[in-house]
Amino acid sequence: MLSLLFATVLAAASPTPAPAASATPAPAPTPEAAKAAPSDPYGGRVGAFGLTAGVAIPGGDLGMSTGLAFSVRRPVAMDGRLVVGAELGFAQTSASGDASEPGLPDGQGYTVSVSAIPVAIHALWHQPAGPVWIAAGAGPVFAPVRVTSSAGGGTNTERSTAMGAELLGGAELPLGPGAVAADLSFRFLTASGVKATGSGNLGGLGLRVGYRLRF
């Protein structure tokens, strides 16, 4: 009897275990929140290939140049906002004059055609502005240059390597697997030892538009 009473007292004094709290999973972010969350300019991808076409206004008497450019860009730091890139392009421009130019025989004119293959390396900082990414940067540029000049019935071809630098700004709007891109640049590029162009700027103010495909 005494042992039964003792067991009853112990059972009453023992604490009743509380029921385990059910773990409530955190709600998943909505698609709207995911879209609004900032990310790197290439959506977590390795980088982007780009193809752009545009025009530039070089210095001196050279006319407006046209060209194409193929670029590769890759985020390297600062949550992907610091991007390095390389660009390979082709540009062509020309100029012409008449007998009023000094040193030309009466009734003769001249033409100068310049083609260049610029290679540029850029470091760019990207900043979001709503759905658009704004970029600004700079870098060195060099370009093999071919200049063909004709005057007085004769033709002369000169080759040189132009060296310079470029300031670059741009915007990218994500669309599909990549982004629609527009770049505005000022490129200072001179070719030494080319008589037909002298020390004029072969680069100038340029605008290029195109598409960059993320990979």
Q: What is the pLDDT of residues 189-205, one digit of tens each?
A: 887 766 656 556 788 99
1 within a domain of the structure (yes/no): no
75 within a domain of the structure (yes/no): yes
Q: Rounded to whole angstroms, how far apart are CA atoms 94 and 208?
A: 19
Q: CA angle, 58 as apex, 107 and 94 as ends, to 5°? A: 35
Neighbours of 169 (CB within 10 A): 15
- Residue 179: pLDDT band (50, 70, 90) is very high
162 within a domain of the structure (yes/no): yes
Q: Which two tokens stand for residue 72?
A: 């590769």
35 within a domain of the structure (yes/no): no
Q: Rounded to whole angstroms, how far apart are CA atoms 169 and 134?
A: 8
Q: Rounded to whole angstroms, how far apart are CA atoms 132 and 171?
A: 7
The range of the structural domain enclosing residue 158 comes to: 46-214
Per-chain mean pLDDT for the chain:
80
17 within a domain of the structure (yes/no): no
95 within a domain of the structure (yes/no): yes
Tell me, what CATH number does 119's domain have? 2.40.160.20
18 within a domain of the structure (yes/no): no
In contact, 134 and 127? CB cutoff 8 Å: yes
Query: What pLDDT does residue 135 have?
Result: 96
Lowest pLDDT segment from 27-36, 118-127, 170-179: 27-36
Query: What pLDDT does residue 25 have?
Result: 56
Q: How many CA atoms within 13 Å lie on the side-chain side of 96?
A: 4
22 within a domain of the structure (yes/no): no
**Torsion of Cα atoms, 123 then 41 then 87 then 137, to 10°:** -30
Q: Which two tokens stand for residue 53?
A: 């076409």
Query: What pLDDT does residue 59 have?
Result: 74
Over 90: is that where the pLDDT of 37 sits? no
| Domains of the chain: total | 1
Over 60: is that where the pLDDT of 141 sits? yes
